[in-house]
Structure 1
Amino acid sequence: MLILFSKKFEGIMSTDNPLLQDFKYAPFSKIKTEHFKPAITEAIQLAKSEIETIASAETEPTFENTIEELEFSGEKLDRVTSIFFNLNSAETNAEIQKIAQEVSPLLSEFRNDIILNEDLFKRVKAVYKQKDQLNLTTEQKTLLDKKYKAFSRNGANLPKEKQEELREIDKQLSALSLNFGENVLAETNKFELQIIDEKDLDGLPESFKEEAKSVAESSDKEGWIFTLDYPSYIPFMKYAKKRELRKKMSLAFGAKGFHGDDLDNQKNVLKIAKLRYQRAQLLGFDTHAHFVLQERMAETPEKVDNFLNELLEKAKPAAEKEFAALEKFAKELDQIDRLEKWDSAYYSEKLKQNLFNLDDEKLKPYFKLENVIDGVFTVASKLYGLQFNETKEIEKYHPDVKTYNVTDENGNDVALFYADFHPRPGKRGGAWMTEYKSQYVKNKKEERPHVSIVCNFTKPTKSEPSLLTFNEVTTLFHEFGHALHGMLANTVYPSLSGPNVYWDFVELPSQVLENWCYEKEALQLFAKHYKTDEAIPMELVEKIKESSNFQEGMQTLRQLSFGMLDLSWHAINPSDIDDVKMHENKAFEATKLYPDVPENCMSTAFSHIFQGGYSAGYYSYKWAEVLDADAFEYFKEQGIFSKEVADKFKNNILSMGGTEHPMTLYKRFRGKEPQPDALLKRAGLIEK
């Protein structure tokens, strides 16, 4: 029975709380910060009531009255928490962070209340036992398997005292993860490099200096201000001639969460790693990685380790050769005796200019943000028939956000799309895709998804629009690839929709779309000079192609080092680790090129694995590269805008979500398993 509450929660009546009303789109303009906690608290109670109704039913358990009912329970809670946690990432403040710390343990407890509900599990198990007699669709079989494993893998079979131990671990992990992310954001916002003497700006592009000047002016400060936000940090490291200033920026960036102060993350890292191990042991797994990878394409830590080491074997000779060339170049140019990490981007950019006569400043005028957005929309239209119409009718959580109605060739609604492109103090760094609502079908009515991408791109200045670096262009295409996975979803059940797939498969749609950025046929659609509207010269397109493998060995080694660091925390018993930095150095030994920087630590700001969902899964980027290189080879064979291949990719990958095993879907699209040689050839690590 559904229980409706009229009780006041912290002064906000449920009837007055916009989050507890029925709404089609997130009602951002009506939401106040104080609405969140009571809304989440009440939505938990509503969801508990729904769960209790399923668990206590006196009818025989069936797929419909147990599995489907469970799948669609807690809809209100899902909508409210998606809005709240998306804002906590993209537009947070101290109040929201405090609420996150308060509600996360409640949500963790609620999830465990479901998993550890004996009566509910009995009904799920009863349906699971008769699965072969139920005449289920493929998607229904997947959902049943997923629901059963959600219980069996997460403690439903444990004795009561062990279940209580599990609850306590999950509660602690929830709080620690939030605290980790808050510290990283606070560290990023805390640092700024103020430059007063214009001579110290030597090497920096004019547009970049103008942006730094406006940052200073907005804070009523003199000179120029540079921050640890990517659009500020990366160009500074790439172009600033003064080595000691690059060192200062690099040390600040690399020391986030590693200062031994209130924002230090070392204890958080150790506690998270140890609690994850304890949790895995409690559930009968050797390590956290064994637990995670059981539900991944890679299956085991041993397979991941072999995969990373095979790539390491191929990439390391190339990386060492590239590093030696970079050392020689820096020595000849500036008499640098020993390359340090703060020299990497600067001399790599100089060498790239030297070899290819190409740098971002030549390219940026052709990549005005609005043109790149139009470009990615045009690519999506040519491949999948999608149309994007900006709308001012949909409420936004910040003026920077753009909203679009997405339709198909026949004008049917496909999705609502939010896009948020520029950095600000309340927004965490990096780029990501998320959803405010998944696609699903309930009571024969289809609900279309509300999808969002969030990035941190160069802001417009007084004299120039937002001009993207080529790396920012590929980032936009990457996140938009994730968005397409959400938009084109065509499943029945929300937990199997869009990007709800195995974690080492989720990067395929994003990484494959990056390939279009390097193709003349695609670049000609949108790469136009922001002043003259002149199309990007073919000479520059060729240089982009030529330089695409520049320092690929070093880049591969860097990615592998992150994957190996991740496994070093999660594929072992971390109980004896008490020194984060020392442990990290051991993990980096096989991939090390630059001298260690004692003041810096990667783990204390490695948000992907200690705050995001990539623990024991960072290898996924390289794993998915094998898939994307093989998939794009198919597109190139038939033409990069081949409707036949695009339809196959849409119908077998993008629309299918997690309804079947990823390798089954991939083989249906490609006709065969992916070949790693496609990646190695593209990266220039083996002969074509």
Structure 2
Amino acid sequence: MSNPLLNIPLLPPFEKLEPELVEPAIAELVKTCEQTLQQGLKAPSWENTLVPLEQAQDQLNKAFSPVSHLNSVLSGQWRAPYEAGLTQVTAYWTELGQNRALYDVYRQLAQSAEFENWQQPRKQSIELGLRDFELSGVGLQGQAREQFAANSRRLAELSSQFANNVLDATSAWTWHTEDESQLFGLPQTALAAAHSAAEAKGLDGWLITLEGPSYLAVMTHAENRELRREVHTAFISRASDTGPQGGEYDNSEVMEAILTLRAEQANLLGMKNYAEFSLASKMAADAEAVLEFLNDLAERAKPAARSEISELREFATDKLNVDALQPWDIAWVGEKLKQQRYAISQEELRPYFPYAKVLSGLFTVVEKLFAVTVEEGTDIATWHSDVQFFWLLKNGEKIAGFYLDAFAREKKRGGAWMDTVSSRRQTPEGLQLPIAYLVCNFSPAVGAMPSLLTHTEVTTLFHEFGHGLHHMLTQIDVAAVSGINGVAWDAVEMPSQFLENWCWQPQAIAMISAHYETGEPLPEVLLEKMLAAKNFQSAMFTVRQLEFALFDFRLHASDAPLKAEQVQLLLDEVREEVAVVPIASENRFQHAFSHIFAGGYAAGYYSYKWAEVLSSDAFSLFEEEGIFDRKTGEKFLHNILEQGGSRDALDLFVHFRGRQPNIDALLRHSGIEQQELNISPS
């Protein structure tokens, strides 16, 4: 039987994929890439060397993409084959990054007479390629070269292990009761989901898990303070040395090993620390610029955050008889205060945001902005019955596609993300369309009740679709810089955060909301309350994000890699400087901080705030011209979304906005007093 992974078409044949097919397919595809390179080096040129190599690597990427994806959304039987494939793929890319002969081809092309006459995407792919070769240790010799390669392979394994520990720890803990009074305060949607979770395990009653919807429902609504404490403790101690699972899935040694190897990589390249290595491929000029940005923003936000937490404590004491505000009280008390002040809650809004209506409304928003339509695909294989596939069309013609896996389930990685199935590129057969995965973890339908989203979940869907549009609306045909490829990591969040703004616009809200039973629009009184509450505790949220960003950056800017105990001390130090909420003694946030230990955000978590300056300022032009102004939408489409990584992110922003980025819009949108900040993302 032929192996379907050897020749993946545009859409993976998920119905034919089996775990045992992975290892032999990846081995063969890696071999093909290596042979293609050797053939291309015989007469080096763009056409002879880089074009066929891109074609071979595209087949490798399209084969490994569904394997990596299935490991994230199904885990279980896909873990071992994914890790085996990861070992082979990492080894290939590591060796390629140190291939001196290929590096010389890039150098020769960059110095050639025709280089200046090339179109920008091709030129950019060469320039970024040269940078990436240098960051891959192409200039190293002997033992240093071998050590760098070995470290790269080991880092890939450790990142996967870190993520596995977090997933296993999350899945392993549950809390079961047959006494519904223990769950008093939980909304009906959460109770139904807990009952369904219990039934799935063959249990009577209700089952609370650490999956996002279940955890958040308890922390926000459960009147049972002891339950909140127990669930909170289990969540914040996941994959660590403490808490109810202490030591069982402990990431302490994994974390230490990752930090040690990252520091070694940077040192081998002559850099002081991993932060310097990370910034070599980002917008920010240097570590000082990042720290100045974060510290100045913290200085402005912390007074407001202190005021918000003081208000919360006073309300807890005076109105709720909670004398000592604990970490497991924060969300619950905050929800009570929000309801008192604005007479609004996420649960009151939930019936007006049925998933199907939000999704169709999102598509309408995007059509108005960028003149593209969305059409559900038919007879397309997926990995789960909940998953949908859609085509993106322009003037009736298919230009891209995406899978949407929206709902939480067991053995599925938490959070939300966008990933690549295939990139837009020219092939011998014609244009290959960009295809994306969009993944969320919303509460699924239970019985006759459809999936109902909180407004926070609505913004999550818009956020991930913004990432998807960045990938899918590209007009660049060189794979290395099409879509999100080649985009500076501290700019890659801009389109996603940008699209979130429409979740707060009355015109757009009318498109994405309707009561799931009656079809009635969101009442004006609820809309006004929702908008009035937009910046409720926004300063507390801001300093929390700054806590994570400062911790991450200072962790990787350290002169020497830290041990687990020192990592905790650093986090405690950062919290002392910027945090305002109480922290439980069992809190081991770092042990489950997958963004920096199992994702691409190491020494780059600051990107969320950095890119938010760009996204807020970009949206301010729509505020000036009209939120559905077609001319402004086309301007954003042509200058940002279509360009991918073909040009410098700051240059693209300036082309769109007509000036350098300004932080005023971010401060205004966040409700933080506007003061002059000594920062610039340029």
Q: Shared topology, TM-score over 0.5?
A: yes
Q: How big is the shift at 1:241?
A: 0.6
Asked whether 1:84 is paired with 2:53, we answer: no
Asked whether 1:306 is paired with 2:292, we answer: yes
> Quick one: distance in 1 between partners of 2:519 and 2:65?
40
Q: Is the 8 A contact 2:4 2:16 kept in 1?
A: yes
Aligned residue for 1:508?
Answer: 494
> Quick one: distance in 2 between partners of 1:136 and 1:213?
61
> Quick one: distance in 2 between partners of 1:591 and 1:526?
36
Aligned to 2:519, which of 526, 533, 540?
533
Aligned residue for 2:36?
Answer: 50
Task: State how many pairs are aligned.
Answer: 669
Aligned residue for 2:550?
Answer: 564
Asked whether 1:671 is paired with 2:653, we answer: no
> Quick one: distance in 2 between partners of 1:43 and 1:92?
23
Aligned residue for 2:420?
Answer: 435
Change (3 A) 1:444 1:30: closer
Asked whether 1:424 is paired with 2:406, we answer: no
> Quick one: distance in 2 between partners of 1:526 and 1:122?
53
Asked whether 1:63 is paired with 2:32, we answer: no
Q: Is the 8 A contact 2:259 2:562 kept in 1?
A: no
Q: How big is the shift at 1:65?
A: 3.0
Aligned to 1:75, which of 34, 55, 58?
58
Aligned to 2:457, which of 472, 486, 505?
472
Q: How big is the shift at 1:687?
A: 4.9
Asked whether 1:454 is paired with 2:436, we answer: no
Aligned to 1:206, which of 177, 188, 213?
188
Aligned to 2:101, which of 114, 119, 127?
119
Change (3 A) 1:574 1:381: same
Q: Deviations over 1:14-66 (max 9, x none)?
A: x61111135231000011111111111111111111111123x1x3x433334
Q: Is the 8 A contact 1:67 1:124 kept in 2?
A: no
> Quick one: distance in 1 between partners of 2:334 and 2:591?
26
Q: Is the 8 A contact 1:440 1:490 kept in 2?
A: no
SS at match of 1:530: coil
Aligned to 2:9, which of 4, 20, 23?
23
Which has the larger displacement, 520-529 or 109-118? 109-118
> Quick one: distance in 1 between partners of 2:564 and 2:387?
43
Change (3 A) 1:519 1:246: same
Q: Deviations over 1:366-409 (max 9, x none)?
A: 0000000001011011111222221222111111100112211x
SS at match of 2:442: coil
Q: How big is the shift at 1:470?
A: 0.7
Q: Is the 8 A contact 1:365 1:529 kept in 2?
A: yes
Aligned residue for 1:41?
Answer: 27
Q: Is the 8 A contact 2:8 2:62 kept in 1?
A: no
Q: How big is the shift at 1:134?
A: 4.4
Asked whether 1:369 is paired with 2:351, we answer: no
SS at match of 1:421: strand
> Quick one: distance in 2 between partners of 1:31 and 1:304?
44
SS at match of 2:441: coil
Aligned residue for 2:310?
Answer: 324
Q: Is the 8 A contact 2:148 2:265 kept in 1?
A: yes
Change (3 A) 1:687 1:142: closer
Which has the larger displacement, 276-285 or 443-452? 443-452
Q: Deviations over 1:61-119 (max 9, x none)?
A: 433334444444412111111111111111221x3212233232222221122122222
> Quick one: distance in 1 between partners of 2:626 and 2:507?
10
> Quick one: distance in 1 between partners of 2:516 and 2:266?
54
Q: Deviations over 1:595-642 (max 9, x none)?
A: 332212011000011001111111111111111111111011111110
Aligned to 1:192, which of 164, 174, 183?
174
Q: Is the 8 A contact 1:372 1:527 kept in 2?
A: yes
> Quick one: distance in 1 between partners of 2:224 and 2:146?
57
Q: How big is the shift at 1:263?
A: 1.1
- Aligned residue runs from structure 1 range 527-676, under 5 A: 527-579=513-565, 580-676=567-663
Which has the larger displacement, 146-155 or 369-378? 146-155
Aligned to 1:264, which of 250, 257, 261?
250
Change (3 A) 1:629 1:134: closer
SS at match of 2:403: strand
What is the identity, as a one-letter code, of the residue corresponding to 1:240?
A: A
> Quick one: distance in 2 between partners of 1:131 and 1:355?
68
Change (3 A) 1:171 1:274: same
Q: Is the 8 A contact 1:28 1:397 kept in 2?
A: yes
Aligned residue for 2:126?
Answer: 144
Q: How big is the shift at 1:322?
A: 0.4
Q: Deviations over 1:483-519 (max 9, x none)?
A: 1111111102112111221111111110011110111
Q: How big is the shift at 1:575?
A: 3.0
Q: Is the 8 A contact 2:32 2:56 kept in 1?
A: no
Q: How big is the shift at 1:541?
A: 1.5
Q: Is the 8 A contact 1:478 1:514 kept in 2?
A: yes
Change (3 A) 1:130 1:392: same
> Quick one: distance in 2 between partners of 1:382 and 1:575?
50
What is the identity, as a one-letter code, of the residue corresponding to 2:66?
A: I
Q: Considering only aligned residues, what root-mean-square deviation do their CA atoms show, in Å? A: 1.6
What is the identity, as a one-letter code, of the residue corresponding to 1:205?
A: P
Aligned residue for 1:154?
Answer: 136
SS at match of 1:193: strand
Asked whether 1:396 is paired with 2:378, we answer: no
* Structure 1 unpaired stretches of 5+: 1-14
- Aligned residue runs from structure 1 range 198-347, under 5 A: 198-259=180-241, 260-347=246-333
> Quick one: distance in 2 between partners of 1:386 and 1:370?
19
Aligned to 2:164, which of 170, 182, 197?
182
Q: Deviations over 1:650-687 (max 9, x none)?
A: 00000100000001100111111111011111111115
> Quick one: distance in 2 between partners of 1:591 and 1:540?
34
> Quick one: distance in 1 between partners of 2:9 and 2:645?
27
Aligned residue for 2:672?
Answer: 685
SS at match of 1:74: helix
Instruction: Return the TM-score normalized by structure 1.
Output: 0.95
Instruction: Return the TM-score normalized by structure 2.
Output: 0.96
Q: How big is the shift at 1:273?
A: 0.9
> Quick one: distance in 1 between partners of 2:397 and 2:420?
20
Q: Is the 8 A contact 1:54 1:120 kept in 2?
A: no
> Quick one: distance in 1 between partners of 2:8 and 2:606?
41
What is the identity, as a one-letter code, of the residue corresponding to 1:450?
A: I
Aligned to 1:413, which of 384, 387, 398?
398
Q: Deviations over 1:334-376 (max 9, x none)?
A: 2222211111110111111111010012101100000000010
What is the identity, as a one-letter code, of the residue corresponding to 1:551?
A: Q
> Quick one: distance in 2 between partners of 1:522 and 1:133?
46
Change (3 A) 1:578 1:189: closer
Q: How big is the shift at 1:122?
A: 2.3
What is the identity, as a one-letter code, of the residue corresponding to 1:473?
A: V
> Quick one: distance in 2 between partners of 1:629 and 1:292?
25
SS at match of 2:117: coil
What is the identity, as a one-letter code, of the residue corresponding to 2:637?
A: K
Identity %: 37
